[in-house]
């Protein structure tokens, strides 16, 4: 069982019910994810970028962080009762914050929902203080759930799979390919991080089974078996800070 008290079995059961009871799953996932962060967030200024309904933001605030929650969709921000985290509408590729505003940025399951992951990385680097941290995760495309509403048809490709899904089941209400969901792969994101001028990769693991981090070292295999990739990054210290 995780430190949060949410076991793998309980999390799986919540996931299997999440279409009918999404809040139960996302709250359980929030407690699990935030309790297992490799950073003690108490006293930190934290941005939850792409916060959705804000469950993760509230879980982080419960751990003692000062949290700002940002999402592009105002409907999602209003979907749950207000808690300890401040909530703002904004685009994660161009946030309204000054440089170095936060000690850390938490960005859960966002990269697959933007056409430009590189812009997200640039922005989190800008708003994180030198020496600060970034934790991000996303559902990689070739994961069994990578196509979200496409129900495994994404393995036929984003164009063909989406066309067949629409013919069989109708167009998805959310996460339409090219309008809310884009194929996002682990290899290209790792290359973006490795070439970034101010972000360093600290660790990369499969989010739901982090002990199996070896999977991330095997090209091809990692695209299928990871399911959801979690990365811890560090904003490089200001020049002279480490001397």
Contact 51, 88 (CB under 8 A): no
Given this model, what pLDDT does residue 125 score?
A: 98
Per-residue pLDDT of the chain (243 residues), as tens digits, is: 334 446 667 666 766 766 666 677 777 777 777 887 889 999 999 999 999 989 999 999 999 999 999 999 999 898 888 899 999 999 999 999 999 999 999 999 999 999 999 999 999 999 999 999 999 999 999 999 999 999 899 999 999 999 999 999 999 999 999 999 999 999 999 999 999 999 999 999 999 899 999 999 999 999 999 999 999 999 999 776 554
Q: How many residues does the chain have?
A: 243
Delimiting residues of CATH 3.40.50.150 domain(s) in the chain = 37-140+184-235
Its CATH architecture, for the domain 37-140+184-235, is 3-Layer(aba) Sandwich (3.40)
Collapse the DSSP code of 119 into the 3-class scheme (helix H, G, I; strand E, B; otherwise coil) and give the result: helix
Sign of CA dihedral 191, 193, 198, 202: negative
Percentages of the chain per state (helix, strand, coil), in multiples of 5? 35, 25, 40
List b or e across 157-185, with b for residues whose CB sees 16 or more CB atoms inside 10 angstroms. Answer: ebeebbeebeeeeeebeeebbeebbbbbb
Given this model, what pLDDT does residue 241 score?
A: 58
């Amino acid at each position: 069982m995780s430190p949060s008290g949410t076991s793998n079995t309980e999390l799986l059961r919540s996931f299997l019910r999440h279409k009918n009871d999404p809040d139960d799953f996302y709250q359980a996932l929030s407690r699990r994810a935030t309790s297992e962060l490799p950073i003690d967030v108490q006293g930190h200024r934290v941005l939850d970028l792409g916060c959705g309904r804000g469950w993760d933001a509230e879980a982080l605030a419960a751990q003692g962080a000062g949290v700002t929650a940002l999402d592009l969709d105002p409907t999602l921000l209003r979907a749950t009762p207000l808690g300890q985290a401040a909530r703002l509408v904004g685009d994660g590729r161009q946030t309204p914050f000054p440089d170095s505003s936060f000690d850390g940025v938490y960005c859960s399951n966002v990269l697959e929902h933007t056409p430009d992951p590189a812009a997200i990385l640039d922005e989190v680097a800008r708003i994180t203080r030198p020496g600060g941290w970034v934790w991000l995760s996303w559902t990689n495309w070739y994961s069994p759930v990578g196509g979200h509403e496409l129900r495994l048809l994404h393995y036929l490709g984003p164009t063909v799979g989406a066309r067949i899904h629409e013919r069989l089941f109708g167009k998805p209400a959310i996460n339409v390919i090219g309008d809310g969901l884009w194929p996002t792969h682990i290899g290209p994101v790792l290359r973006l991080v490795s070439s970034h001028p101010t972000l360093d990769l600290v660790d990369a693991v499969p989010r739901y089974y982090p002990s199996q981090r070896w999977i991330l070292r095997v090209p091809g295999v990692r695209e299928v078996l990871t399911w959801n990739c979690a990365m811890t990054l560090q904003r490089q210290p200001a020049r002279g800070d480490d001397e």
